[in-house]
Amino acid sequence: MMDIYSKKYRKEIRSEYLRNKSKKEKGKLLDETDKQTGLNRKCLIK
């Protein structure tokens, strides 16, 4: 299992975020990941 704070995990989330076209889907992804990790939304997409 991958550590939710690892760079690799955040990199995968960011690439999935960039692949999504709709703002709604991007928001859902960030909300879900924010709940799991406790990291700020901005931190997740940088």
Kindly report, residue by residue over 1-46, the tens digit of the pLDDT.
456 667 888 888 889 989 989 999 999 999 988 888 888 888 877 7
**pLDDT at 2 (0 to 100):** 56
User: Pick from 38, 2, 25, 30: which is nearest to 14 by CA?
Assistant: 30
Angle at 34 between CA 32 and CA 37, to 5 degrees: 110
**pLDDT at 4 (0 to 100):** 64
Instruction: Kindly report, residue by residue over 3-13, the tens digit of the pLDDT.
Output: 666 788 888 88
Domain boundaries of the chain, sorted by first residue? 8-15+22-45
Cα separation of the two ends of the chain: 23
**pLDDT at 1 (0 to 100):** 46
Model confidence, pTM: 0.71
User: For 1-46, where are the alpha helices, taking DSSP H only?
Assistant: 7-19, 23-37, 41-45
